[in-house]
Amino acid sequence: MANDVLTRDDSTISGLDALEIASKQKVTSRVGRLWSATWPKVAAIAIAIFIWQVVVWSGWKPPYSLPPPADVFSDLGRYVTEGAFWHGLATTLRRAAVGFAAAVAIGLAVGLAVARVRILRAAIGSMITALQTMPSIAWFPLAILLFQLSEQAIFFVVVLGAAPSIANGVIYGLDYIPPLLLRAGRNIGARGASLYRYVIVPAALPAIIAGLKQGWAFAWRSLMAGELLVVIATKTSIGAQLTYARELSEAERLMSIMIVILVVGLVVDAAFGAADRAVRRRWGVLDQAGA
Amino acid sequence: MTSVALTGITKVYGRGPSAVLALDGVSLNVAPGEFVCLVGASGCGKSTLLSLVAGLDRPSGGSIAVEGGTTPGLMFQEPALFPWLTVRANVELPLKLAGVPRAERKARVAELLGTVHLGEFGDRQPHELSGGMRQRAALARTLALDTPVLLMDEPFGALDAMTRDILHDELERIWSERRLTVVFVTHNVREAARLSDRIVLLSSRPGRVISETRVDIPRPRRIDSSDVAAIAAKVTEELRREVGRHGQ
């Protein structure tokens, strides 16, 4: 009898497991995935450029204020071979990296503190969201008063623009950890620092990444606003070059620079998007549409 | 000789006039190696009681003593596996937290996964497994704590009948192989009769022990046997009477 029960179990268990697992595997080739992710984007860009061309053809604005796509792209080709471009891009990216890194450090620390300390939450919890809604360009008059037309003024606004989003991501991430996971973690022996390391931080990671992604968008926007306003004569940057292009009425160059700004923003955003998808795939919460 | 000794446990939630008495003087002794099922209708504080025994919450009154002073392993209705870890890493985590060296961890995890028939699935993420498999992985993670006492809070409540039957057999096997003491909460009286040595019936709002039923059916048992059905019928009758008291 006992033997009967055992053999029945083992084969039934593996049979049930096989049946339930089989439907969960789906295989698509790498090339197929890449193509299905790429073509809608390519098509959208093509349509946008076509609409731009149609507007130019309509003669709505003269070519010196709205140049045709072909002229802009040929200028873009020249622009990216110039030393000034690479100089400017280096300055801009360095500012972005330093400002964003500081915003991450401050955002994580403030978010963690506000999420865990009740009195801090009551005091500044809603202020963080208020800060987030403040357009970063509105900070510049104050920044310029405090730091004149300097690197610090730009840094100040980039950090103020990005840190609240990151802090909010952390707060949201910690608030929405399923209590069951915390109970399970405590039961298997995770207490204090190890509870943070092995349960709380990984559980909050998706929301933290979302906060970083949003923080980056704010940092990049603030930086561009800053570089347009705070032009430091001795130092070229993407934003400074955009200002010069406008002052010299170089429409093609102006639009070339805008394309560069857009592309940099998109590339970094795509990196955060990839990290986000990797986490969600691991968790099994990636829906078909998102894949 | 007791493995779990609960003496006059009370638990009050909230304060003042809105305070709710969840448990009212629950006393219960569980012998080493005994399989006890706690049965009751909604609001009897079954889950609260397990949280208290597991040390996740403090009682308002009474005392709790657990064999060897260890924290018992607790399983929930949901597997509560960590979605960011593989099945193997989930089972390994309690060992890591207990400071077990890496080489030993590897062997222990392999043994535990084998025990719950998940040897081939260690590298999967929890979401890639079925409900029953996840619950087995959760059992392996709890067993990794290597505590003599296992607390289970309706662990099979969300599973289909066939999977549940199999897991009953599995749990019974693991319980006897490892000589565990199990306190198992369920609202399914038949499940209680299938698994336990003793069924403890709790009243609702507040929770109190109202009766105990010994289950002396020889093992292995089948959930559809007439012996199990007879015990289940008796306990169901008592449970109905208790629930009916609240309708008056």
pLDDT of residue B19: 87
Give counts: helices (H), strands (E), chain B: 7, 9
The pLDDT tens digits for B85-143 are 999 999 999 999 999 999 999 999 999 999 999 999 999 999 999 999 999 999 999 99
- Which residues of chain B are within 8 Å of residue A198 when distances are taken between CB atoms? 93, 96-97
CA distance B113 to chain A (A): 14
- Which residues of chain A are within 8 Å of residue B98 when distances are taken between CB atoms? 189
Name the residue among A10, A24, A180 with its Cβ closest to that of B76. Answer: A180
Is B109 within a domain?
no
Is B106 within a domain?
no
CB B178 within 8 A of CB B142: no
CA B128 to chain centre: 25
Q: In chain B, whose CA is at the least distance from the CA of A192?
A: B97
Q: Which domain holds residue B4?
A: 1-72+184-248
Is B157 within a domain?
no
Is B243 within a domain?
yes
CB A170 within 8 A of CB A201: no
Name the residue among B82, B130, B141 with its Cβ closest to that of A20. Answer: B130
- Which of B127, B159, B165 to probe by mutation at the A interface, max A CB count within 10 Å? B127
Give the whole-angstrom CA distance, residue B93 versus residue B90. Answer: 5
Is B50 within a domain?
yes
The pLDDT tens digits for B196-237 are 999 999 988 788 888 899 999 998 899 999 999 999 999 999
Give the whole-angstrom CA distance, residue A107 versus residue A159. Answer: 9
At B149 the three-state DSSP class reads: strand
A194 touches chain B (CB under 8 A): yes
Q: The domain spanning residue B233 has which CATH number? A: 3.40.50.300
Q: How far does chain A reach from its first CA to its final CA, in angstroms?
A: 50
Kindly state the tokens that stand for B108: 């222990």
Per-residue CA distances from A205 to A85, A210, B84 (Å) = 36, 9, 10
**Computed over its alpha carbons, how large is the radius of gyration of chain B?**
18
The pLDDT tens digits for B25-59 are 899 999 999 999 999 877 678 888 999 999 999 99
- Which of A3, A10, A12, A13 to probe by mutation at the B interface, max B CB count within 10 Å? A13
Q: How many CB pairs under 8 A join A and B?
A: 98
Nearest Cα to Cα of residue B88 among B74, B73, B102, B71: B102
At B49 the three-state DSSP class reads: helix
Kindly state the tokens that stand for A170: 């952390």
Is B235 within a domain?
yes
Give the whole-angstrom CA distance, residue A96 versus residue A268. Answer: 11
The total number of structural domains that make up chain B:
1
Per the omega criterion (within 30 degrees of 0), is the bond before B206 cis?
Answer: yes
Is B93 within a domain?
no
> In this predicted complex, what is the ipTM?
0.91
Is B114 within a domain?
no
Whether residues B170 and A9 touch (CB distance < 8 A) is answered with: yes
The pLDDT tens digits for A95-142 are 999 999 999 999 999 999 999 888 998 888 889 988 888 888 899 999
Q: Which domains does chain A have, with CATH numbers?
A: 69-283 (1.10.3720.10)
A38 touches chain B (CB under 8 A): no
Q: Which residues contact A46 (CB under 8 A, 6 or more apart)?
A: none
- Which residues of chain A are within 8 Å of residue B128 when distances are taken between CB atoms? 21, 24, 284
